[in-house]
Amino acid sequence: MASVTAQKYRHRCWIAIAAAAVSIVAMMARRPVASVHEVISVTPPQIDVEAVSDAHVAATVTIRNISAREIRIGGVEASCSCTAAAPLATHVLRPGEETSITLRLTPPKTGIQQTRVSILLEDPHSRFDIPVRMQGRRVEAPAVVLQPPEIFGVAVTGEPFETSFEVQTLEHIGTEWLLGFDCELPDVIVGQPLLVHSVKADSTVLARHYKVSLTIHGADLNSRKLATTLTPRVASTPTRDVPAIRCVVDWKPALRAYPSAIVVDPGRHQVWPVVRRIVISGADGRGWDVQQVKCEPDWLKGEVVQSETEGAVRIIDAYVSAPDDMRGVDLHGTIEIRTGVERHPLISIPVTVMSRGG
């Protein structure tokens, strides 16, 4: 009888203990869990990026432990790929300690974009969400930018006219992408561009320095203003996306002698010598002069009448004589004019005296 009573007593005790445990668990379940806002403070609580024109901007966020216990930050995540965070300097914060993270934001080209950044604590259910609002106003840059957009200078017919300019391009086009130029005037012959050097301006743009040699043909005037357009031919980029270069040069012909040949008919002249005037023009007057006039044979003479003038014109008088008894044979001679122009050191003018009849 006593043993039965003891068993009942023990059974009742176990029931009481179990009931107490259930009550404690229920009370713990009903106790509110500390909010993440009671554990950490985040400054600023939200990010607002107003009307930026840059491709990337940075924002710094400070996290502070405002609780009475040590906390561990599990990481940072963003709701889209337009936001990235640098690694945390520390993951464990004691009460009162703080750390900071740097966010790399990529605003849209235009318009408003909303996203969020979440600070994750060790408890997977504890996260602090930071709203992010970004407004972009970027203007899409052209694939190619030419500096300067225009070429000015003085060109001489048939001689190279060298100029240089800088080309800024998107990096994906490649290093040797400039192939040549197309000109709207067939009189302008354009040589191949030469890459002088390449400078990386930033992470996406390359600045390349080119030297271009232009050769102009076909002018028969002392001076002329030439205006044309050069369109670069590039690789991997449609021509319509490449700006043209406006080329304005003073078009000057090379040294030119007029007349280019002298012919004398003895039947029309009773008095010797016959004088023929030679005019040489076409070069800058400051850069050249007549150095020597050589005539062969001796019945031919040349004399400089006008030289060292401010203009580009030089005048030479040619004196042509002939024997009185010449019959049936044409006489041939040459006037050689030496100049100070390296490109045209010698101008040769043939002289012919027609034979006398009879």
150 with 230, same domain: the answer is yes
Question: What total number of domains does the chain contain?
Answer: 3
Range from 16-20, 162-166, 188-192, 331-335 carrying the lowest mean pLDDT = 188-192
Identify which has the larger pLDDT, 158 or 240. 158
Q: Would residue 186 count as lying in a domain?
A: yes
Range of the domain at 100: 36-137
Tokens representing 235?
A: 């690789």
237 with 310, same domain: the answer is no
152 with 212, same domain: the answer is yes
Say whether pLDDT at 43 is over 80.
Answer: yes
- What would the pLDDT profile of 241-253 be if each residue is shown by its tens digit? 667 777 776 666 5
Any idea what the CATH number is for the domain that residue 188 is in?
Answer: 2.60.40.1510
pTM: 0.35
pLDDT confidence of residue 175: 46
127 with 167, same domain: the answer is no
Residue 24, C-beta contacts closer than 8 angstroms, at least 6 positions apart = none
Last residue within a domain, chosen from 203, 222, 252:
252
Residue 337, C-beta contacts closer than 8 angstroms, at least 6 positions apart = 257, 278, 280, 290, 292, 293, 302, 316, 346, 347, 348, 349
76 in Cβ contact with 104 (< 8 Å) = no
Any idea what the CATH number is for the domain that residue 322 is in?
Answer: 2.60.40.10
Distance CA 240, CA 242 (A): 6
295 with 235, same domain: the answer is no
pLDDT confidence of residue 39: 84
Last residue within a domain, chosen from 222, 252, 282:
252
CA 357 remoteness from chain centre = 72
238 with 207, same domain: the answer is yes
pLDDT confidence of residue 334: 93
Say whether pLDDT at 358 is over 60.
Answer: no
Last residue within a domain, chosen from 224, 252, 280:
252
80 with 133, same domain: the answer is yes
Q: How far apart are the first and last CA of the chain?
A: 180
160 with 248, same domain: the answer is yes
pLDDT confidence of residue 32: 47
Strands 346-353 and 262-264: what pairing? parallel
Identify which has the larger pLDDT, 311 or 276. 276
